[in-house]
Copies of this chain bind each other. A is one copy, B any other.
């Protein structure tokens, strides 16, 4: 499904993110990588969905994932606030580990910058600490590169590793079946996705970041900087239960991420809650269609678990004890394929 230009001509692609072109280039890159090491160097485990890579080392299976905060750092720079995006370095990565059911073990951060600014770095450190606490994760190292010819401002990213406690297996989504229920856990704000588009909307509409949007208590700038919610503990609480058939981080690509779990079922999001007002306000700024909103932003749900219908209440209790008492049923699984939001007439064929 191609991105839909809107009345005002905005879409994620028009805002500078050409996903199809990236996919093509990436396919070309991966076509060149053919090497498979001997088993003495660990045994990679095939995992559909690719939220994380897995490698078997001795009796342990290690999960690894890497991600950057993306253009949210430009908003941080504009506002001179770095603690939130420092915290995001952790959230964006550990939530991908959470999506395969791995328990977090450690993180390395990568900072690329034009020049090292003491105040920004100190704030990033405080943010990292907050994220690490939320994820119960150690900082195992990092890299700081001063590359003024490559980077304007500061780029933030990292890599997280996790593992599977004895008796737990990776959650692949392979056991998802029609009749399963989908439990969503709310997001807080945009997390770390869709900022290229969001920032364009703000600029085009001459939004003052120091003023609240109508109905909001905090100014738009800080509201948009709120860090990614960490779902590590929620995942950890249910990942080794046999009734947990799938886990998904609704990051870049929005609800379409569900298709990464299983290509041969239909995810019907017939109980999607009303999106928080921030999303509606952004949508109106750009006169964006729902189809574009749900493919770009998390629309209020940042993580979801696909569980057996017989264990719905029990799973909610487990999630509640792990800090996700706000988990709610957002849909169910049917025969078919793709993702639907019936109330809005939306249908996506898959992730790409």
Cα of A166 to Cα of B140 in the assembled complex, Å: 22
Contact A33 to B125, CB < 8 A, known contacts A53-B141, A151-B155: yes
Cα of A140 to Cα of B74 in the assembled complex, Å: 29
Q: In this complex, what residue of B is CB-closest to A54?
A: B140
CB–CB B53/A149 < 8 A = no
CB–CB A141/B22 < 8 A = no
Residues of chain B within 8 A (CB-CB) of A59 are: 58-60
Q: In this complex, what residue of B is CB-closest to A132?
A: B35
CB distance from A15 to the nearest CB of B (A): 11
**Interface-side segment among A113-121, A208-216, A328-336:** A113-121
State how many copies of this chain the complex holds.
2
CB–CB A159/B64 < 8 A = yes
**Interface-side segment among A37-45, A169-177, A219-227, A242-250:** A37-45
A345 an interface residue at 8 Å Cβ cutoff? no
Secondary structure dominating the interface of A = mixed
CB-CB contacts below 8 Å: A143-160 with B? 143-153, 155, 157-159
Contact A145 to B64, CB < 8 A, known contacts A29-B121, A37-B136, A153-B150: no
A315 an interface residue at 8 Å Cβ cutoff? no
**Interface-side segment among A99-107, A258-266, A276-284:** A99-107
Where the two chains meet, the residues of A that have a C-beta atom closer than 8 Å to any C-beta of B are 16-18, 21-22, 24-26, 28-38, 40-42, 44, 50, 52-55, 57-60, 62, 64-68, 70-71, 73-74, 103-106, 108-112, 115-118, 120-129, 132-133, 136-153, 155, 157-159, 161, 163, 165-166, 196
Q: List 15 A-B contacts (CB under 8 A).
A: A21-B116, A25-B122, A28-B125, A32-B128, A32-B129, A34-B129, A37-B132, A37-B137, A59-B60, A62-B161, A64-B161, A66-B159, A108-B159, A155-B155, A159-B159
Contacts A25-B117, A70-B147 aside, 14 further interface pairs with beta carbons under 8 A come to A21-B115, A31-B122, A33-B129, A35-B132, A41-B137, A53-B140, A53-B141, A60-B62, A65-B141, A68-B110, A68-B143, A71-B147, A149-B196, A150-B152
